[in-house]
Amino acid sequence: MSSPSAEHGGNKAASSSSLWVGWLTAAVGAYILSAWVVFSGVLIAQNNFISDQSHYRPPEQQTQSFLQFQDGNWYYEIITLGYSYSPGRRSNIAFFPLYPLVAGGLARATGLPVLTSLALVSNAALVAAYALFVAYARRRTDDPQVIGGALAAFALFPPTFFFRMAYAESLFLVCGIGVLLVIQRRGPILAAALLTAAAGATRSVGLAFALPVAMYAWEECRARGASRLAAAWRTLAALAMSGAGLAAFMLYQLVALGDPLAFVRVQEAWVYAPPVSLLGRLWASFTLWPIWGVYDPQSPTYWQNISRSADPVFNLPFANPLYFLLIVALVGVGWRRKWLDRYDLAASAGLLAIPYFTRGYDIGMNSHARYAAVAFPAYLVAGHLFPQMPAGWGGALLGVCGWFPGMYAALYSIGYPLF
């Protein structure tokens, strides 16, 4: 006959398991709902507007699948032709290797077309990212309303429509959420460092996770009784491991192209602002010129100078700074209200500051909505805010947000000048 304590333990384990099944179902449901919104938009646009709107496409895109637009075309080229670098010209060396390595491996293993493999990796990674995000959120709060709201915000934030296209962000999120989840669970330092290395091999901004990893390594070593010197050495080792993905990519460039910084130099081909010194760039960044310059008709980075469309509503060059500032504000609110911890803040600060200070001036905040959308702790803050809104407002806001990814995806798929 089982003891009451054993029965209680069994009931608790069953309850926990049932709760996890429920949350994983919610994660899959969030993907299905958001994917339905995005791909319904694509399907409607492809079936009803493609013939009328094909003049939106540049000549090189007239016969391409929409999955091959923008970054998707660069990744397709990397998989099919390999890396290349032409100084002074846009080259695919600007794009990091892990995503095309995974998608290319899938294509070779299964015989699937490359574009299909790119899309499958993005979407499978997004499902995994939602599941990891639920686990991350559950470490921060037990309130199902907050977790549900956070997951909904993550799924329906308008710029996240890119996460279902041939872009690297979904895979990047799997690595990044994994880093903070390992830290929250007080897991192995090596695991956090390796996940950071993988994030750094997916996008350069993956280095944002090196700071929380270093903080965690130092604190864990000291908590286990290591001396300051030993803790410092282990922290440096964790930092070195965190940068291994980027270091490997740089080594490849040195051997194959003769320039370990080719991925940096090629960025000069994506510039809209006039050249400026390092001090001038820093001054412009600290005075928020990259942001307000987007709305100044006299600025070289004025949104209509970058976009091929004069419509501000469905226009990311116009909206990029607004989405970026929204994520910054959410992170700030989360820190002030103690909904985010120091690791969340360190990761979010890096994810936002690295692209802003390195590219915000040059490209007039172009693509910064997508860059900001990977600062996932902001969605946890949104989840806390929704229940505090007047009845019905949170749902209405999510409904509006959910409409935009479908519209963006529809316009993107027919080559509308969304950028």
Write the DSSP assignment of 94-125 as a string of letters: GS-SHHHHHHHHHHHHH---HHHHHHHHHHHH
Counted domains in the chain? 1
The residue whose two tokens read 């091959």 is 68
The answer to whether residue 35 sits within a structural domain is: yes
Whether residue 121 lies inside any domain: the answer is yes
Q: How many CB atoms lie within 10 A of CB 146?
A: 21
Residue 5 domain flag:
no
pLDDT per position as a tens digit, 64-116: 566 767 888 999 999 999 999 999 899 999 999 999 999 999 999 999 999 99
pLDDT tens string 218-255: 999 999 999 999 999 999 999 999 999 999 999 999 99
Q: Give the angle 28-191-101 at the CA atoms, nearest 5°.
A: 65
Per-residue pLDDT of the chain (419 residues; tens, 9 = 90+): 455 554 445 555 555 566 677 778 888 999 999 999 998 888 888 777 654 444 444 444 444 566 767 888 999 999 999 999 999 899 999 999 999 999 999 999 999 999 999 999 999 999 999 999 999 999 999 899 999 999 999 999 999 999 999 999 999 999 999 999 999 999 999 999 999 999 999 999 999 999 999 999 999 999 999 999 999 999 999 999 999 999 999 999 999 999 999 999 999 999 999 999 989 999 999 999 999 999 999 999 999 888 877 788 888 999 999 999 999 999 999 999 999 999 999 999 999 999 999 999 999 999 999 999 999 999 999 999 998 888 778 778 888 888 889 889 888 888 776 76
**299, 380, 348, 416: which is closest to 53 by C-alpha?**
416
Contacts of 358 by beta carbon, 8 Å cutoff, 6+ apart: none
Q: Note whether residue 4 is domain-resident.
A: no
Cβ-proximal residues to 78 (8 Å cutoff; 6+ apart), any chain:
92, 95, 97, 100, 104
Q: What CA–CA distance (Å, rounded) separates 401 from 379?
A: 13
Q: Which residue has the tokens 């540049």?
A: 58
Residue at 273 is within a domain: yes
What is the domain range of residue 260? 18-413
Please, are residues 378 and 348 in contact by the beta-carbon 8 Å criterion?
Answer: yes
* Cβ burial, residue 75 (10 Å; 0-12/13-18/19+): buried
10 is a domain residue: no
H helix runs in 185-243, sequence order: 189-200, 210-223, 228-242
Cα separation values, 233 from 15, 186, 271, Å: 43, 19, 40
What does each C-alpha distance from 91 to 69, 76, 162, 360 come to in angstroms?
15, 13, 21, 20
Q: 294: closest CA among 284, 285, 306, 286?
A: 306
Instruction: Let me know if residue 181 belongs to a domain.
Output: yes
- Identify the three-state secondary structure at position 344: helix
Tell whether 9 is covered by a domain.
no
